[in-house]
Structure 1
Amino acid sequence: MLRNRIRRVPVTVRGTHYIHEYLVLPDVCAVVAETPEGVILVEQFRPALGKRILELPAGRLRRGEEPVEGARRELREETGYQADQLRLLARFYPSVGLSRHKVHLYYTYNPKPGPTDWDPTEEIEVRIIPVQEIPRLLAEGRAADGKTHLGLVYFLNHRGWTMQKGRWRPAAQVQPPGGSH
């Protein structure tokens, strides 16, 4: 069970004193896992949103767990896939006004399939999304949580895709500045 705690700290800004509250949460790891067929995402119900959403395989780190090991564990537990090599893409704070926890974002290519190991509270559907469909997921807001959105943007950029005139384009379709459509 996650034991969220609210921390209260006194703050003074330009002579104004107040108490700022934030949540103490564990760090999180997430994995952009690419197979020859596409990127592995999980679809699950999120009670705070009241709906199912697509996300990168991810979860909170256990006490004392190294982020890369947490990423490897979460990928295996949620999808069944096992990664030998994981490369760090980024570390970021997803909501600095709410918490100081970090997301550790990793990438792996061609993980090996295996059995899942879901938590009793998880009901997950594993989906492999072809690379060409990822820009549409982003544009439609179907990959809307911060870690997933940012992870997929990193992935597309790594693969040579670029945002031009509000649309994602693969490297072969990128128009030079001032070029025609």
Structure 2
Amino acid sequence: MQWTVRSDRSLYSDQWLDLRLADVELPDGRHLDHRLIRMAPSAGALVVDDRDRVLLIWRHRFITDRWGWEIPMGGIADGEAPVEAAAREVEEETGWRPHQLRPLAYLQPTSGILDAAHHVFVADGATRVGDPADGFESARIAWIPLEDASGLIDKGEIVSSTTATGMLYLLCAKRRR
């Protein structure tokens, strides 16, 4: 059953997010004031080497006060295609230039309250081009075995839903072959 949006207005907006209030009509006719957040889309990539390891960054997220492994990912600049943004983010955050990127998944990590499109790509390999341009992004950069994905999730070392989804998707695809 589809909900109907009767009105939608901004409560707060800046360059990062738009907090909105929607008057939503439920299928039974009742109305619900629903808060939602809209964010600009972002792009990232899982770069996999010939040993089935994924290039990840170890970073602290102050919002949740947690450390974890994540794929390189960030905002899409005006006029930039998602695939270009993903390649740029990988290089800026890791110092590795991914080989040809191909689409892996389009994700909405928390679609019940948040509209934040995540365009996720995959590359078979990368070329080291230097140090990360964004040295503040992570404490470490490492090639992590794809097979370790579920164990890292179990230990709470991968909590990013986009990273977890991408890693598990690749792992399932590998096992289907």
Structure 1: where are the runs of 5+ without partners?
Answer: 162-170, 172-181
Indicate the residue corresponding to 2:5 in structure 1.
none
Preserved CA contact (<8 Å) 1:94 1:147: yes
More off after superposition, 146-155 vs 90-99: 90-99
More off after superposition, 124-133 vs 147-156: 124-133
More off after superposition, 23-32 vs 130-139: 130-139
The 2-side partners of 1:18 and 1:160 are apart by 44
Preserved CA contact (<8 Å) 2:58 2:140: yes
What is the RMSD of the two structures over their aligned residues, measured on CA atoms? 2.0
1:62 aligns with 2:77: yes
Distance 1:54 1:118, change over 3 A: same
Q: Normalised by the size of structure 2, how large is the TM-score?
A: 0.82
1:108 aligns with 2:123: yes
Distance 1:2 1:124, change over 3 A: farther
Q: Which deviations, in whole Å up to 9, do the C-alpha atoms of 1:91-144 show, x marking residues without a partner? A: 12111122222111111011101221107x534421111234333213333212
Amino acid of the structure 1 residue aligned with 2:16: R
Moved over 6 A (4+): none
Identity within the alignment, %: 25
Paired residue secondary structure (1:11): strand
Offset of residue 36 of structure 1: 3.1
Aligned positions, number: 161
| More strand by percentage | 2
More off after superposition, 123-132 vs 151-160: 123-132
1:4 alignment partner, one of 10, 17, 28: 17
Q: Which deviations, in whole Å up to 9, do the C-alpha atoms of 1:58-93 show, x marking residues without a partner? A: 112123321101110110011111123001011121
